[in-house]
Amino acid sequence: MRSVYEAANLVDAHLVRHALEGSGIPAFIRGEALVGGIGELGVFGLLAVMVPEAAWPQARATVEALGLGIPSGEGDPVAGDGWACPA
């Protein structure tokens, strides 16, 4: 199994999993049972959508087509490359 998407929250993870399953790619959410431990566990890296190794290229293309998040290098607030707070 290989991670195709690291989710910030459980809703995002389920949306990606359903999109993959809708494309005929089997998927499951790693760390779903750990969400109840937030506060005692590290917050980042708990949730990931996993797919079989053989299905990873197709799954990756499906996730990229969803347009989730900011593509790296385009307005990334950490990189400081032109992103500005709208407030």
> pLDDT at position 50, please?
94
Kindly give the parts of the chain with pLDDT less than 70.
36-45, 69-87
Residue 87 lies in a domain: no
In a domain, 31, yes or no: yes
Residue 85 belongs to a domain: no
pLDDT for position 77: 45
Angle, nearest 10°, between helix axes 56-66 and 10-22?
A: 120
Between the CA of residue 65 and those of 13, 31, 41, 84, 85, what are the distances in Å? 15, 24, 31, 25, 26
Total count of domains within the chain: 1
Question: What pLDDT score does 18 carry?
Answer: 96
* Within-domain flag for 21: yes
Residue 80 lies in a domain: no
For residue 18, being part of any structural domain is answered with: yes
Let me know if residue 20 belongs to a domain.
Answer: yes
Q: Which domain holds residue 30?
A: 2-66
The CATH code of the domain that includes 31 is: 3.30.70
Q: Does the predicted model carry a pTM greater than 0.85?
A: no
